[in-house]
Amino acid sequence: MLTTRRARAVLTHMTMAVVSALVLQVPLSLAEQARAVADPAPAADTCSPGADCVELGKPSGHVLTTINTGGLRCTITWTVDWGDGTAPTQVTLLPGSQQLISHTYLAVGTYTETDTPSIDPSSDPDCSSIPGGWFEQRTHQVVNGLTARIAPVPPVLRAGHAFLDASGSAGPRQIDTYTWNFAPEGDCPGNLSLTNSSVTSSSPTLDIVALCDLSVRLTVSDVRGRTAQQTAHVSVDPRTAGQWKPTTVDLVPEGSSADPRTPREDFALPRGGFRFALSASRCRRDTRPPLLCPPTDGLGTLEGKAFNLADVNDPNGPFHGFWFVVHNKVTVKMTGLFNPNLFKSSATKHPDPDHRGKKINWFTLNQRRGKPVSALTQAVRAHEGWGKNGSAARPNNSGHAGAEACYLRKDRTRHNPAVVLERGFDQQKADLVSHANDSLRRISGELHKAAADPLPVIWKGTMLFWSSTKHRWQPAEHTVGLAHRAPSC
């Protein structure tokens, strides 16, 4: 208590708001324990009700002042012990003045601040000394600051669910809103407009459907309006299993001779009309392009035939209401239809030059004369199939099936039906259907062009052919393939 001859001078303390930063912990000194100030106890991430709450690393400040009463003017020195083992702060205030003091605590915990005043009797004849032991105390609860935390988001398949979890976010006061902001990136189409680019919720978790890569910014806000942010990335992988595997050429090396498309021209000169073999699509009854199954050259949409669509039902998600391709039904099914006259069993015969009165077919005569029948047959199979020395695993473009496979592999994002359809989505169903139809028809036309004759030469040889004008067998050079481009993908 402070006494005077005329009046009692009253000392007051006014607290000010706190401001924030991160610092290292300093242990309490023995001196603090000697003054019976409690050691700081571990504090939670939330403030106790009614506590003087300070965020870790942010200065705790308040004003020291003097108040004149009855005209008394005294000079006062305050000694402030912060309760954390650091050196006390001393502030001398002239009559009628005040000063802001602050301190940064270096570890979470509960600290007792002790403010002890002393008076300078010479400042006013009526000022007397303060009795020993007079002081003021206040308790500070130091807690961790507000932080936003998004748990790692594993990659998801296109049209799959991405689970966003911000339950690790914390602060000294209750978090009341979680705002998720989305922006397209990565493999998203340019100028993509999301249905919901921002979603605010009181729940720390959000489950969304993702159609392409997203950047995510989380903003958490507590009951006092303070905010914290963190960013994350949602990576969307293409569907690559089952029907979404890249489309490949499914080749049946030898079709049935009962197929009406099978070439049956007699191997008779003059040349220009007969065909040894033909590659045709197994999904149609004619030999016209395009080669995709189902055929893409008809009128109308291919929806329901080559692909099916579904829409996203995700009211709180960025892609709500978008349409995407959910099923791919496009294949390239090919069959090699070989001319029956190429084989020993051929019933097409002409007079046998070695046995008067008998007839012989093309295969038997050329084999008898030592002509490279086997080499020609293999070359014809390669020409209609995977190309010279080619296979399904290693095709080359000297064969029709090989050239088709090379086209599908060359630029999958533009050439491969499964890959193109897998990436398809749009806010407008009609636009998505139109794009899918146009893409498949484009691919079909380009596929036919890439695999059409003339293909690279893979064999040359001299064989015997029946001359329908001279009525005799005569030798002629035959070439499998016509073009002179490199036989590789």
> Tens digits of per-residue pLDDT, 147-199?
999 999 999 999 999 999 999 999 888 999 999 999 999 989 988 999 999 99
pLDDT at 78: 86
Q: In Å, how far are 280, 383, 410, 414, 486 from 455, measured between CA atoms? A: 16, 8, 18, 23, 9
**Which of 91-105, 210-224, 403-417 bottoms out in mean pLDDT, i.e. has the lowest?**
91-105
Q: Which contacts (CB < 8 Å, 24+ apart) does range 360-363 have? A: 362/267, 362/464, 362/465, 362/466
Neighbours of 186 (CB within 10 A): 12
pLDDT class of 45 with cuts at 50, 70, 90: low
263 prior amide bond cis, ω within 30? no
Among residues of the chain, what percentage have pLDDT more than 70?
83
State both tokens at 486: 């490199």
Segment among 284-298, 301-315, 465-479 with least mean pLDDT: 284-298
Query: CA–CA separation, 176 vs 170, rounded Å?
Result: 11
Mean pLDDT of the chain: 84
User: Nearest 5°: CA angle at 295, between 291 and 296?
Assistant: 100
Q: Domain residue spans in the chain? A: 13-143, 156-237, 242-480
Q: What is the mean pLDDT of residues 304-326?
A: 97
- Where does the pLDDT of residue 70 fall: very low under 50, low under 70, confident under 90, or very high at 90 and above? very low
Residue 14 has what pLDDT? 30
Rounded CA separation 65/4 (Å):
19
Nearest to 454 by CA among 383, 396, 382: 383
Alpha helices in 416-457 (DSSP H): 417-422, 429-451
Q: What is the spatial distance between Cα 337 and Cα 261, in angstroms, rounded to a whole number?
A: 8
CA distance 266 to 206: 71
- The CATH number of 13-143 is 2.60.40.10
pLDDT interval class at 129 (50, 70, 90) = low
pLDDT digits (tens, 9 = 90+) for 356-373: 999 999 999 999 999 999
Q: What pLDDT is stored for residue 130 in this prediction?
A: 60
In sequence order, what are the residues at sequence separation of 6 or more whose Cβ sits closer than 8 angstroms to the Cβ of residue 384? 277, 278, 279, 336, 338, 399, 400, 401
Distance CA 487, CA 386 (A): 11
**How far apart are alpha carbons 38 and 364 in whole angstroms?**
111
Cβ neighbours around 202 below 10 Å, total:
8
pLDDT value for 53 = 80
Whether residue 230 is predicted with pLDDT greater than 90 in this model: the reply is yes
pLDDT tens digits for 274-288? 889 999 999 989 988
Using DSSP bridges, classify how beta strands 249-252 and 268-269 pair: parallel, antiparallel or unpaired. Answer: unpaired
CA-based nearest residue to 13, from 86, 116, 83, 84: 116
* pLDDT of the residue at 353: 96
Statement: residue 316 has pLDDT above 80: yes
CATH 2.60.40.10 correct for 156-237: yes
Strand 459-467 to 268-269 pairing: parallel
